[in-house]
Amino acid sequence: MSEKLTLSVIKADVGGFVGHSAIHPDLIDTARMALEEARQKGWLIDFHVTACGDDLQLIMTHSRGVDDVEIHHLAWQVFERCTAIARKLKLYGAGQDLLTDAFSGNVRGMGPGVAEMELHERESEPVIIFMADKTSAGAWNLPLFRMFADPFNTAGLVISPSMHEGFRFEVHDVKQHKRIFFDTPAEMYDLLVFIGASGRYVIKAVYTRDGEIGAVSSTQRLALIAGKYVGKDDPVCIVRSQGKFPAVGEVLEPFTMPHIVEGWMRGSHYGPLMPVPVRQATPSRFDGPPRVAALGFQLANGGLIGPRDLFDDPGFDEVRRQVNVLADQLRRHGAFEPHRLPMDEMEYTTLPQVMEKLAERWEALPDETVTV
C-alpha cells in the first residue's frame, strides 16, 4: 500500500441508450451501488460515477497505487454487472468495450480506458477530470499543450514564479509502443513535431520540472488493441490545478476554441470538439459532434468534494455556437475529405471490409496511360 493518494478514472462503453448517444440511468445506479459496496469494504476512499455519451465513468480515490490489480478488477466487475443490465434492457452494443471474457490482472489492453495518478494531496488540491465521447486519445494533445506550454493560453507560465520553469511532457507512440520526454519551453518545437500528429503520438502525462505529476491521460486505442474497429477510444484525462499547476481557468481555456478532432460518426470523420455540461454530453447529431465534459473536484483526504460541472457556464456558449457552424460546414462535405478521415486512418474502421469486397474489380490500366 502506498502512502500517497491514487486518483483512478476507469471508463468503458458497456451499452448505449439510445444507440451510441447516451447511457441508461440503470447502469449509473448499478455502478454506484457496486462502488458503494467497495467503499464500505474499505477498498475505496471515495468515488463518483458519471457518464459522457455512451461511456460509463468510474472516478475513484484509494491508496493502492496505479495499475493496482484489485482496483482494476473492481472496475472490470462493475462493467460486467452493468453489461448484464445492458443485456437485459437490450441496450445498444452491450459489453462493447470488454474485449476479452476474463479479467487478467489489469484492464489496460482489455478495452476500458484508464487514467490514473498517484499524488501527495496538497493543502488544497483542485483536480479536473475531462471525459470525451466520439473521439480518440489524441484529442487531449492540443489542450494539454495549451495548458502547460502555451503562454498565450496560460498566463502563469509568464507571470507566476511557480510555473515559470515550464513543464515536462511524456509522449507515447501508440503504434510502436515507445515513449519520449520533452522539456518545455526549451524543446517546445521538438514536442510539436510529434504531438501535431495526434493519431499516433499522444501526450500521456505532464510533470513539473521536479517530477511532480500534473496531468495524465488515457492512451488506449481500441482498434489497435482489437485489430478491428470496435468504437472510438473516448478518452479521459486528469489535470491538477492551481499553485504550481495552471489555474482552473487556464486549464479550461483551450476548450474555447472549436478544435477539430477525429471520431464523430463511425469513428471515421473529423469534427469540432464541443465542451458541454454532463447533461449535454449526449452526442446525437450525426452521432456527434464529439463532446468533452469537465468535472472539478476538491480532494479532501481522498474525499471527492464536488463535482462542479465546469463547462456549465455561459462563457462556453460562443464556442458551442462556433462548433455548430463548423459542424455544418464539415457535414456538407459528406463522404469527402477533409470531413472523412484519410485512407490510412480509415484502416481502423469498417471500411477495409468494403474495400476487400471490391478488390477484384480493380483492373490494371492500359500500358499507354500515364500514371503518377
Q: Can you give the binding site for ligand F6R, defined by CB under 6 A?
A: 19-20, 93, 134, 231-232, 265-267, 287
CB of 37 to ligand F6R, least distance (A): 30
Find the part of the chain contacting Mg ion (CB under 5 A) among 10-18, 177-185, 288-296, 349-357.
10-18
Using rule CB under 5 A, residue 226 touches Mg ion: no
Q: Which of 54, 97, 134, 229 is catalytic?
A: 229
- Choose which of 20, 24, 240, 339 interacts with Mg ion (CB under 5 A): 20
Q: The dihedral of CA 292, 296, 299, 300: what is its sign?
A: negative
Q: Which one from 11, 134, 204, 232 is the annotated catalytic residue?
A: 232
User: Any contact of residue 13 with Mg ion (CB under 5 A)?
Assistant: yes
Query: In the annotation, is 232 catalytic?
Result: yes
* Partner from Mg ion, ligand F6R, none binding residue 53, C-beta < 5-8 Å depending on class: Mg ion
Nearer to ligand F6R, 128 or 273 (CB): 273
Stretch that binds Mg ion, among 89-97, 202-210, 297-305, 340-348 (CB under 5 A): 89-97
> Which of 19, 249 has the CB closer to Mg ion?
19
Residue 250 touches which of ligand F6R, Mg ion, none (Cβ within 5-8 Å per kind): none
From 11, 13, 233, 348, the catalytic residue: 13
13 flagged as catalytic: yes
133 in contact with Mg ion (CB under 5 A): yes
Is 270 one of the annotated active-site residues of the chain? no
Closest CA to 346 of 203, 199, 172, 201: 199
The letter for the amino acid at 369 is T
Task: Count residues binding Mg ion (CB under 5 A).
Answer: 9
Backbone angles phi, psi at 335, to 5 degrees: -85, 5
| Short-list 276, 279, 307, CA closest to 292 | 276
Instruction: Indicate whether 302 belongs to the interface with Mg ion (CB under 5 A).
Output: no
- Tell me how far, at minimum, the Cβ of 125 lies from Mg ion, in Å: 29
Looking at 54-62, 140-148, 292-300, 310-318, which segment touches Mg ion (CB under 5 A)? 54-62
Query: In angstroms, how far is the first alpha carbon of the chain from the final one?
Result: 62
Q: Is 287 an interacting residue with respect to Mg ion (CB under 5 A)?
A: no
CB of 18 to Mg ion, least distance (A): 11
Q: Which three cell numbers stand for residue 161?
A: 514564479
Just list the catalytic residues: 13, 229, 232
* Site of interaction with Mg ion (CB under 5 A): 13, 16, 20, 53-55, 93, 133, 234
